[in-house]
Copies of this chain bind each other. A is one copy, B any other.
Amino acid sequence: MAQSNPPFMSGVPELLLLRLLDRNEMYGYELVRSIRDATGEAITLGEGVIYPVLHSLERNGALRSKRKAVGGRTRVYYSLTKKGRQRLEKLQNDWRRIQGGIANVLEAPGHA
C-alpha cells in the first residue's frame, strides 16, 4: 500500500501560480516569466512545471480557462474559481506555517 504524503515543502509552484492568477488572469507562457520576475529571479519554474500544474488545477475545478486568439497565436487565459481561492488560502497558511517553523530555527537566540 505504502501511501505517501507529499514532500513537506511542495505546493510552492502551485501557491505562486494561484496567487498571481488571483490578481490578474494570465496564460501559461506569461506565468513563467511572471514568476521569474516577481521573485526577483530567485525562483524560475519552467514550462514543464507550469503547464501540468495548470492542467491539474483546472481538472480539479480550481481554475477556469478561456482561449483568446491574439495576432494569430492562441493564448489560454486562466482565472481562479471560488474553489481556487479556497485552495490558495489553504496553501498560503501551509506556507506560513513551515516558513515560520524554519524561521524559529534560524532566528533562535545565538550560540550557547
Q: Which residue of B lies closest to A109 (CB)?
A: B23
The answer to whether B40 and A100 touch across the interface, beta carbons within 8 angstroms, is yes
Those of A64-101 within 8 Å (CB) of chain B:
92, 95, 97-101
- Total copies of the chain: 2
Q: In the complex, what residues of B have CB within 8 A of residue A2's CB?
A: none
Q: In the complex, what residues of B have CB within 8 A of residue A15's CB?
A: 102, 106
Q: Is A105 an interface residue (CB 8 A)?
A: yes
Q: Which residue of B lies closest to A19 (CB)?
A: B105
How many angstroms from the CA of A31 to the CA of B92 in the assembled complex?
Answer: 27
Q: In the complex, what residues of B have CB within 8 A of residue A45's CB?
A: 8
CB distance from A61 to the nearest CB of B (A): 21
The 7 closest A-B pairs by CB, nearest first: A42-B101, A39-B101, A42-B97, A42-B98, A38-B105, A43-B101, A9-B9
